[in-house]
Amino acid sequence: MIMAGDFRNGTTFEMDGQVYRIVEFQHVKPGKGAAFVRTKLKNVMNGSVLEKTFNPTEKYENAQVDRREMQYLYEDSGLYYFMDTETYEQEPLNKDQLGDALLYIKENMNVKVLSYKGNVFGVEPPTFVELEITETEPGFKGDTATGATKPAIVETGAKVMVPLFVNQGEVIRIDTRTGEYMERV
């Protein structure tokens, strides 16, 4: 059982006979009245998105999600092919099943493919990935002290805010949970 007050991004649970995954959550503590949890949920089976507010003390059954280690191989005609690292079987997934994970994975990268009762519903990239910057404005000497940032596009197409001293062609480490720049590699 999981309480609504313990919800986090990526948590999966059963509600009303359906399985939902939390896309976004926010704990709200208003000045008057009781606290509540505002969420955006994605139905694992049909892909529909739902916004719902929960009382933090409500309890729900955890959904048993299978996580298989797979390697991303390539993209062909809108399908993304993943290979099971143990059986070498290939599984094609579409863009809807991948979601935002597509922004952080590149060919030959190992990821976890998520499924519920045999139905694949998502991909979990590694927590930290190293990607090369393909497009950004040039940095200038002395820009390191301000703490200011600028937009950069990495090799997978993701847009990341980086410090001013980071230049095109450099490899950076990104936290895939938040999409934030961590450091240069």
| Topology (CATH level 3) of domain 2-62 | SH3 type barrels. (2.30.30)
Q: Residue range 163-169: average pLDDT?
A: 88
**Cβ pair 97, 130 in contact under 8 A:** no
At 53, the pLDDT band (50, 70, 90 cuts) reads: very high
Task: Please determine, for residue 145, whether its predicted confidence score (pLDDT) is greater than 80.
Answer: no
Is 2.40.50.140 the CATH number for 128-184? yes
* The overall pTM is greater than 0.85: no
DSSP 139-171: P-TTTTSS--EEEEEETTS-EEEEETT--TT-E
2-62 against 128-184: fold identical:
no
SS3 101: helix
Domain ranges of the chain: 2-62, 66-124, 128-184
pLDDT higher than 70, residue 142: no
At 155, the pLDDT band (50, 70, 90 cuts) reads very high
> Has residue 144 got a pLDDT over 70?
no
The C-alpha torsion from 165 through 171 and 173 to 177, rounded to 10°, is 100
CA distance 152 to 137: 8
Say which CATH topology domain 66-124 has: OB fold (Dihydrolipoamide Acetyltransferase, E2P) (2.40.50)
Q: What mean pLDDT is predicted for residues 79-83?
A: 93
Over residues 123-144, the mean pLDDT reads 83
